[in-house]
Amino acid sequence: MGLFQSPQNVETNKMRSWEVQLQDGTKVTVNNRLDCIGDTCPRPQLKLKKSIKGMESGEIVEVLINNPPSLETLPALCPEIGATHLDSLKEPNLWKLYIQKD
């Protein structure tokens, strides 16, 4: 994949919805999972942009990352792509970001 090309196969898993509790105690229903484990910038950003385009307003995607720079760049990208960053949760070997389409 070239640096400035869109990813051809975005790995978004549409599964049954599941509930997640955010750090503030709010429970949200997650509709999609986007696996960006092992991806480095700018690939997670490109995958998220494409994933958000295919979602309905109000849907939430769980983005799995293990690249620290993505922890900063993905939330900052949200206003540009019509989404809201809800929370980032640290797991032992990765972060789970919760992003809702506006």
Task: Report yes or no: 49 and 13 within 8 Å, Cβ to Cβ.
Answer: no
Q: State the chain's mean pLDDT as an integer.
A: 89
Tokens of 49: 């942009």
- Residue pointed to by tokens 């070239």: 2
Query: Residue ranges per domain, the chain?
Result: 37-101
- The CATH superfamily of 37-101 is TusA-like domain (3.30.110.40)
- Confidence category of residue 5, pLDDT binned at 50, 70, 90: very low
The tally of CA atoms less than 13 A away on the side-chain side of residue 84 is 7
pLDDT in tens, 53-64: 999 999 999 999
pLDDT over 50 at 3, yes or no: no
Residue type, 59: E
Strand 27-35 versus strand 83-90 pairing type:
unpaired
pLDDT in tens, 6-56: 444 444 555 689 999 999 999 999 999 999 999 999 999 999 999 999 999
Give the ranges where the chain is alpha helix by DSSP (H).
43-53, 68-81
